[in-house]
Structures are given as C-alpha cells and as structure tokens.
Amino acid sequence: MMMEPERIPVHVSLIMDGNGRWAQQRGKERTFGHFEGVESVREISDECLKLGIRYVSFFAFSEENWNRPRKEVDTLMELFMSNMHSQFGNFMEKGVRYVVIGNRSRLSDKFNKTIDSLMEATAANDKMTMILFVSYSGKWDILQAARRMAAAGADDLEPYLATAGIPDPDLIIRTSGEKRISNYMLWQAAYSEFVFTDTLWPDFRKDSFHAALEEYASRDRRFGKVKK
C-alpha cells in the first residue's frame, strides 16, 4: 500500500471490540474470540511497523471490564501475560518499545512484574512504540492526573496524564459496529479522527486496516481553524 507520508497517522489506536460475538457466532465460548483476537493484534502491529507508523495502541481492557465474569477476566489477564512473554524476542528483534498504560494498582503482582520487565527491556527500542491499555478508562486517567497536578501545585494537566509523552491519537478505529468511545482516551481524543467498522476484531486484519487508513487519509483535519 502506497500513501503520502503526511497521510500516515503518527499514532493509530484500536478499540478492539467484538471478540465475544465472533466466538458466539461459531458456537464457542467468548474466550475463544479473545484468543483469535491476539492474531489480529500481531497482524496489525506488524503492518504498522511496515508502514512506518510510530505509535500503535490497543484498548485491551477497560476499568468497566472488571465487572465481567471472573473466569473471563482471569483468562484475559493470563492471555495478556503469556503474550508478553512469548512476544518479548519479537519486540527486541524488531525494535519495538512496549508500554502498558492503565490503573496498574488493580493488576496482580505477577502481572505487574511481567509488565515492568518488558517495559524496561524494550525501553530503548526506537522503531515503534506499541501500547496496551489495560485497566484503563479516560475518566480514571483525568482524575489521577488532576490529583497529581493539584498536589504539585501545577496548572497543566497533560504532563500528569498516564499517556504523557505519547502523541494524541490521530486515528481511532473501533471494530464490531459499536459507535461509542466507551470511556477510552477522553482527553486525548479531542481531535482524533474516528473510523467505525462492522468487522469484528478477530476478523480485522491487514485489508480492513488498509481500508481504515485510506479513509483517514481522505479526511480533512482542521483543528478548529479555517481551511487555507
């Protein structure tokens, strides 16, 4: 796929939705869809590397998702952890910096250790930054930032957001036909372009991604200004 470099987003974010429905359509348990969804994450992040996208982020688990059945939550946490272990070599080889963002106080010690070691080991990788949002919500982020900003007597919120240092998403893609933000990057999405697709996350692969990037490339971003 050829695209003018200025039409390639710096930061693409994916709200991965529809795993449960994908599995249910096949008469399988919801978790089956989460396993298949991991393949989409791999394919999309590889594609981002190829296209020279600097930041790719994935909304993997929201603060509200803690209210799902315990078994599903446990399976998801195990899945995140085992993938971090199995992908480590791949990240090092490809120069991917890995970052986890969210309310880490709700994660297990074991999971937090895995995250810390992966983030430390990949910190100097500079081809691309891959971000996993886990136990994240936009309201949580704004609240924790506001508290820390007030404690510091400062008046600029941005440096206190959990995403500090990461450019705001240029493009947010949501799969599965839902057209809502579901408490994702509320602050950071102020000027993001949105692409909604009916494709369920486990079916969202290279071709669907290219279609979304093409739609993004056709958008006219004005940021409140008058077009020249």
Distances (CA, A) of 166 to 35, 99, 226: 28, 10, 27
We find the least distance from the C-beta atom of residue 180 to ligand IPE, in angstroms, to be 6
126 is catalytic: no
17 vs 168 by CB, closer to Mg ion:
17
Q: What are phi and psi of 21, to 5 degrees?
A: -65, -40
CA distance 154 to 139: 20
> Does 15 contact ligand IPE by CB under 6 A?
yes
Nearest to 135 by CA among 37, 60, 55, 38: 60
> Does 65 contact ligand IPE by CB under 6 A?
yes
Q: Which of 17, 141, 168, 170 is catalytic?
A: 17
> Does 17 contact Mg ion by CB under 5 A?
yes
Per the CB < 8 A criterion, the answer to whether 52 and 7 are in contact is: no
Residues 142-201 within binding reach of Mg ion (CB under 5 A): none
Quick check: helix, strand or coil at residue 195? strand
> Does 19 contact ligand IPE by CB under 6 A?
yes
CA distance 4 to 23: 37
Q: Which of 46, 65, 125, 183 is catalytic?
A: 65
Contact region with ligand IPE (CB under 6 A), list: 12-20, 86-94, 108-116, 217-225: 12-20
61 vs 98 by CB, closer to ligand IPE:
61
DSSP sequence for 139-155: HHHHHHHHHHHHHTT--
Distances (CA, A) of 164 to 106, 146, 217, 225: 20, 13, 26, 25
We find the least distance from the C-beta atom of residue 35 to ligand IPE, in angstroms, to be 11
> Does 60 contact ligand IPE by CB under 6 A?
yes
CA distance 154 to 121: 32
65 is catalytic: yes
- By beta carbon distance, the residue nearest ligand IPE is 20
The site string for ligand IPE over 70-109 (x = CB under 6 A, - otherwise) reads ------x---------------------------------
Chain residues binding Mg ion by CB under 5 A are 17
- Active-site residues, by number, are 17, 65
